[in-house]
Amino acid sequence: MRQKLVIGNWKMHGSLAANATLLAGIKATPARARLAVCVPFPYLAQCQAELTGSSIGWGAQDVSAETRGAFTGEVAAPMLGDFGCTYVLVGHSERRTYHGETDTTVATKALRALESGIVPVVCVGETLAQREAGETEAVVGRQLTAVLDALSIEQLGRIVLAYEPVWAIGTGKTATSAQAQAVHAFLRQQVAARGSELAEVAARLPILYGGSVKPDNAAELFSMSDIDGGLIGGASLKAEDFLAIGNA
Ligand code: 13P
């Protein structure tokens, strides 16, 4: 049985004052799922100070594909390690769309995270046009394959996958539980299909769903056999909603 994991993606939201209230709120009540928050880089120190010793993990929303050097504006995985990050999102559709991240870049970022002992949350997902053209499996399959090609079996045993249909992000349109389950099952089966050594990895792989998850649809989504929790945008900014999803 895979334990449910619910990760908040704050995106580019927050302030020291607002975060203090939010973090105090989510620390106040234990949730049934494991919880974590992925926050803007400047707030990692605040999360480390507020969440150390709690059951809530924290992490970043991106990491450099490089380890060090003349890469102005980039943040390297060992730096995230300095701030106690457990997780880092890689390949979020907003990074792929607005920053031109390719499947190969995303796979390299996942590798850099793992080398620093940080769990990459590898995001995959199709656009509405791709879904309507019947390309969902081809698109998420291609995004996943780049990661499977770049990582060892041992490393694949340490990643988290997140299926986020681009058309469901911030739109209030959620994939139905059946639509999401179908893609999650496909992703798990793609990992298993790589060979018998991957069977165990595939069976244990946490696959989160993201895209307009709210307190009122989380339980239905999380009841599906291949949905192991959620990656939550908007609803992670309110302690009450985030906790309700963590208890769904
Ligand atoms: P929303 O929950 O706001 O749709 O965002 C989903 C997301 O992109 C999480 O990474």
With cut-offs at 50, 70 and 90, classify the pLDDT of residue 173. confident
Please give the pLDDT value at position 83: 98
* Residue 172 CA, ligand 1 centroid: distance in Å: 10
Ordered by where they begin, the domains of the chain are 5-246 (3.20.20.70)
Question: Is residue 16 scored above 80 in pLDDT?
Answer: yes
* Residue 160 CA, ligand 1 centroid: distance in Å: 16
What number of other Cβ atoms are within 10 A of residue 141's Cβ? Answer: 16
Per-residue pLDDT of 102-113, as tens digits, reads 999 999 999 999
Question: Is residue 51 scored above 90 in pLDDT?
Answer: yes
Per-residue pLDDT of 118-168, as tens digits, reads 999 999 999 999 999 999 999 999 999 999 999 999 999 999 999 999 999
Please give the pLDDT value at position 113: 98
For atom 5 of ligand 1, which residue has the closest CA? 233
Hey, which of 5, 6, 11, 221 would you mutate to test ligand 1's pocket, going by the most ligand atoms within 8 Å of its Cβ? 11
Q: Which atom of ligand 1 is nearest to the CA of 11?
A: 10
Please give the pLDDT value at position 102: 98
Parallel, antiparallel, or unpaired for β 207-210 and 160-163? parallel
Is pTM beyond 0.85? Reply is: yes
Which value, to the nearest 10 degrees, does the dihedral of the CA atoms of residues 9, 12, 14, 19 take? Answer: 30
Structure tokens at 159: 């990643």
Angle at 65 between CA 211 and CA 99, to 5 degrees: 50
What Cα–Cα distance (Å) separates residue 117 from each residue in 86, 126, 139, 141, 209? Answer: 8, 29, 28, 26, 23
With cut-offs at 50, 70 and 90, classify the pLDDT of residue 63. very high
Please give the pLDDT value at position 172: 84
The residues that are catalytic are 92, 164
Please give the pLDDT value at position 174: 86
Higher pLDDT, 172 or 19: 19
